Structure 1
Amino acid sequence: MRQRLAWLDGLRAVAVLLVLYAHLSRYLFRGAREFSSEWLNAGTAGVMLFFLVSGYIIPASLERHGDLRRFWVSRLRRLVPLYAVVSAAVVGLGIAGRVPLDSFLAAHPGTSAAAHAGMMPFLLGVPLVTPVFWTLTFEMAFYLLVTALFALRIPRADAVLSVVLAAVGVATAPLVPQLVPGSSPVIAGVIVLLGAGLFAVTSRRRRAVVIGGLVLGGLAGTLLVANMDPAHSWDGLLILAVMFTGTTIYRADHGQTGWWPVIVTGTVVATALLVNWFAELTSLHALTPRYMTRSVITLLVFAGSFALGMATRRRRTPRWLAHAGVISYSVYLVHYVLIQLLAPALPRDLSVPVQALAVVAYLTLLFGICELTYRYVELPGQRLGRRRAPAPADDRHGLAG
């Protein structure tokens, strides 16, 4: 099982390294960033690759084991421990003045905590504790939609849903962001609906499961359409389309469908991404041949990386690359906070050799910390309640591991 899925770990390693480069190059090797950013949006390519991997494995894992309770227990065990530890650490560092912390979080601690507890602050108008949490909001929305499809017994609607999301994403772009104010009553209502929906779908009573699926699907759809964060008003719905494209690829790869749905879905979603990215450039008065080329290259990098991973999945993945993928959830959540902590100590006029040493030192420290968080936070979290609800062996291969 481990080697069979090592190619997915390798892809997750590539994804997190792209994101890491995008963030670290703001402080070190800025010249390389100035050149590369003209031709590749490394951060976008990295997170889109993460999303594609999540789409490939998460719904299939749920269907194979056929139990929503086990699915949600395993997901919460996997996501929450490290998420909670990083949240607490960042808040503590922010109070101590070591990292930036949005004033809203201190002024409205209850509202902020509730929004983050539901792992959807990005769609609730609440500032994030740390910027990288935005991707987990889309992961959560994806889980809710997948749960709704499974609860309503229409689990193989991924290709159709991907095309629909792409079409709606183009037709409605840019979404009017955050129509629902991020007030305490609204957020409390969302958390209540989320909790009630999850309780219902995990009850194993058919009527309750159907009602819960409708609640969760409706909640996710409403927040995605009516409360999108302004940062993703152009491509927020397309992120979900990318994830369901990953599911479509899984079905074809495992003989559940032919490859024509993949070809059609992939073409539609890729076209929708380029249409909206070009439209966003137009709105910024930046629709130039260079930036249009950058959009195409960004698309080719994350789609091509996934295709290359699939083409070589029967070959042995380098151990170091697979291990980097195993701990990539820790790397993803920790790397940005560590950059914020160390950045004030970095002079702007460092020589190239000193910058190289700084990168090596940073990576050594980062991966050392992440080995510890993986061993002492992630693994113990995955073992919680294992005897009562064993997690699927391959359920860790989404964005959050």
Structure 2
Amino acid sequence: MSGRWGWLDGLRAVAVLLVVYAHLTRYVFTDLRAVTGEWLHAGPAGVMLFFLVSGYIIPASLEQHGDLRAFWISRALRLYPMYLVAIAAVVLLGGYTTSQPVTAAAGHATMLPFLLDVPLVTPVLWTLSYEMVFYLLVTALFTVRLHRASGPIAVLLAVLAVATAPLAGPRPGLVPLAAVVLMIGLGLVISGRRAASVAGGLLLGGLVVALLAIGQDPAHRWDGLLIVAVMFTGTAIYRADRGQTDWWPAILAITVVAGALLANWIAELHALGAVTPRYVARSVITLLVFGGAFAIGRLCRERRTPRWLSLIGVLSYSIYLIHHVLIQIGHRFLESALPGPVIAGCYLSAVFGLSWLTHRYVETPAQLLGRRARARQDGVSEPTRLKETL
């Protein structure tokens, strides 16, 4: 795939702005939050939109070359540099302490700490654990040539999510085992040998299934499986758009996953004794906001995305990580007696300014390395690659 897809950048911008709004309004414009929060979960709407976009675009990245080694090098160089910068900033500035630094470091190195009972350096990292889960599942399916079954997989996950919710909480002590399994599995899938790749894919798939079943944080015991189902729904839409499958698997996935989300969100409200017309309406509106945003973006994909919105989308990964790092290390400023607009203006200026710098000097160089690695990999002889006709 060449070039940027502007409409996806626009959707990333909408997603990150929703998340920033959700976190910033805990400190300023709290009256506005009190009103909107009764009718919309802005944070969940934003991250679910991120997940839909990831589901749409990530399989395309893998299948363009059919090369697992290039895919993982590209993903590592896309995510880890900024991920490590954010972690280092919080740790060095005193925003994170732990009595088990080795376990915490190993858990974060896997990018699966949220499912391994490891306290997060910064709370927003929880979404990256599910991103990693999705990459591992896509890899596993690719090795056994089931990657085009995105629609049925989304439906299966949605049905399991409703049948098994709430899922079990995280089990302590899994970090060493998970780290070893992850390293072995990835080593096998990028080896270039068919049998080893299949074995590695099955190993990674088994790890993911186990973590999803027994590693859910209390915050996502009701929708942990559904987050992954949302990503596979995005993939099903991509395949239908590209003519790889009929539209009925995507339509079925959209319908079943949306229904499962509402069912589990309302079941969670029931468990909390909070089933009221307003909160049920909030669940419906949250679903409509992120689903509707994606639908509108897709319908307008032939139109030019506004430049400012596209720029925010390009910076969205840095913005997503930096905005909460600044909250952690600068919460005293956010809680100061200065007028709300002044606080918000200074905070947002810092977020966007630092995000531009980190994108320019951290993300972009790492992405260039990834492109070069992929270009070199494209020149590798056919027997050393896991290749298939797409």
Deviation at 1:357, TM superposition (A): 2.5
Q: Distance in 1 between matches of 2:322 and 2:22?
A: 15
Deviation at 1:2, TM superposition (A): 7.5
Shift in CA distance, 89/230, structure 1 to aligned 2, threshold 3 Å: same
**Equivalent in 229, 233, 238 of residue 250 of structure 1:** 238
Deviation at 1:391, TM superposition (A): 9.4
Q: Distance in 2 between matches of 1:243 and 1:285?
A: 30
Give runs of aligned pairs for residues 2-401 of structure 1, distance below 5 A: 5-94=5-94, 99=95, 101=96, 103=97, 105=98, 107-178=99-170, 180-181=171-172, 183=173, 186-347=174-335, 354-384=339-369, 386-390=371-375
Question: What CA RMSD, in Å, does the superposition of the two structures yield over aligned residues?
Answer: 1.6
SS in structure 1 at match of 2:134: helix
Deviation at 1:61, TM superposition (A): 2.0
Gaps in structure 2 of 5+ consecutive residues: 378-390
SS in structure 1 at match of 2:375: coil
State the one-letter code of the partner of 2:114: F
Gaps in structure 1 of 5+ consecutive residues: 393-401
SS in structure 2 at match of 1:299: helix
Partner of 2:381: none
State the one-letter code of the partner of 1:149: L
Fraction of identical pairs, as percent:
61
Q: Contact 1:71/1:391 (CA < 8 Å) preserved in 2?
A: no
State the one-letter code of the partner of 2:230: V
State the one-letter code of the partner of 1:56: Y
State the one-letter code of the partner of 1:30: T
Q: Contact 2:78/2:363 (CA < 8 Å) preserved in 1?
A: yes
Q: Distance in 1 between matches of 2:47 and 2:194?
A: 36
Deviation at 1:388, TM superposition (A): 3.5
Tell me the TM-score normalized by structure 2: 0.94
Q: Contact 1:201/1:208 (CA < 8 Å) preserved in 2?
A: yes
Deviations 1:229-258 (A, max 9, x none): 111000000000000000000011111222
Deviation at 1:59, TM superposition (A): 1.0
Q: Contact 1:4/1:314 (CA < 8 Å) preserved in 2?
A: no
State the one-letter code of the partner of 1:75: R
Deviations 1:36-90 (A, max 9, x none): 0000000000000000000001012211210000000000000111111111111
Which segment is superposed worse, 151-160 or 338-347? 338-347
Runs in 1 of length 4+ with deviation above 6 angstroms?
none
SS in structure 2 at match of 1:65: coil
Q: Distance in 2 between matches of 1:89 and 1:355?
A: 26
Q: Contact 2:106/2:179 (CA < 8 Å) preserved in 1?
A: yes
Deviation at 1:227, TM superposition (A): 1.3
Deviations 1:264-299 (A, max 9, x none): 110100000000000000111110000000000000
State the one-letter code of the partner of 1:368: G
Shift in CA distance, 268/292, structure 1 to aligned 2, threshold 3 Å: same
Deviation at 1:359, TM superposition (A): 1.4
Q: Distance in 2 between matches of 1:265 and 1:234?
A: 19
Q: Contact 2:55/2:230 (CA < 8 Å) preserved in 1?
A: yes
Q: Distance in 2 between matches of 1:296 and 1:3?
A: 35
Which segment is superposed worse, 190-199 or 254-263? 254-263
Q: Contact 1:169/1:237 (CA < 8 Å) preserved in 2?
A: yes
Shift in CA distance, 3/307, structure 1 to aligned 2, threshold 3 Å: farther
